[in-house]
Amino acid sequence: MQRTDIQLLIADDHPLLLEGLKNALHAQGYPHIEAVSNGALALDYVQNEKPHVALLDIEMPLLTGFEVIKKCQELHVKTRFIILTSHKEKGFILKAKKLNIAGYIIKDEPFSEIDKCIQAVASGNTYFSATFDAIFERQINPELQKVKLLSPSERTILRLIAQCKNSKEIAELLTISIRTVQKHRANIINKLELPTGIDSLSIWTQEHQELLLSI
């Protein structure tokens, strides 16, 4: 698809960044651009105008970029989404993967990366920044592979640990003995390759909240 054929939406609550990005895209040869400053306006525009591609910031007033995307997916809107953000945290990247977002670009990347991403996404492909891919492959995917080794019972206990339940509370909820809970905890620690001697499971669950939602 040619740049002149692509209808774009960009959404960001920082006026200078929004105006600068719009001007840069115009200069690059994209004539059809709508710019909005919050998630509610972005959702309304996508629903009514169905642009080919929408570039969304994550943290915006009224609705986050992720919330806009989820609502549009529920409505089966064909617009393809790119997240343009400064966030490099594991939780954000895992959430983007779960939503099957077409593109994810870090704001401090060169503008040429945004152009390449739009071109790829408008053509039906995906495009993720090198930072995104590196974090997913080196930090998230190894943890996902370990979690797959857990039994259904171990996954249930891991979720309860994430809710700050202690062994006694878990035993009562699942009607099993505390000793059984402790045995499961030891197995989970072993499978996740966590250190012993500290409350490593609680620390791990707090760091991997988004991952726990996917199991």
What tens digit of pLDDT does each residue of 79-116 get?
A: 999 999 988 888 888 888 889 899 999 998 889 999 99
pLDDT recorded at residue 215? 67
Same fold, 3-137 and 149-212: no
What tens digit of pLDDT does each residue of 163-203 get?
A: 999 999 999 999 999 999 999 999 999 999 999 877 889 88
Q: What is the mean pLDDT of residues 29-33?
A: 96
Q: Taking the domains of the chain in order of start, what are their residue ranges?
A: 3-137, 149-212
Options 3.30.1330.120, 3.40.50.2300, 3.30.70.100, 3.40.50.300; CATH for 3-137 is: 3.40.50.2300
pLDDT recorded at residue 140? 86
pLDDT recorded at residue 121? 97
Q: What is the mean pLDDT of residues 133-149?
A: 89
Domain 149-212 has CATH 3.40.30.10: no
The pLDDT-based confidence of 63 (bands split at 50, 70, 90) is very high
Among candidate residues 42, 74, 34, 76, the one with its CA nearest the CA of residue 58: 42
pLDDT recorded at residue 136? 87
Residue 54 phi/psi, 5° resolution? -125, 125
CA 185 to CA 190: how far, in whole Å?
Answer: 9
Name the burial class of residue 38, with classes exposed (0-12), middle (13-18) and buried (19+) by CB atoms within 10 angstroms of its CB: middle
Sheet holding 80-85, edge to edge: 32-36, 7-11, 53-56, 80-85, 103-106, 127-128
Of all residues in the chain, the percent with pLDDT exceeding 90 is 72
CA 1 to CA 79: how far, in whole Å?
Answer: 14
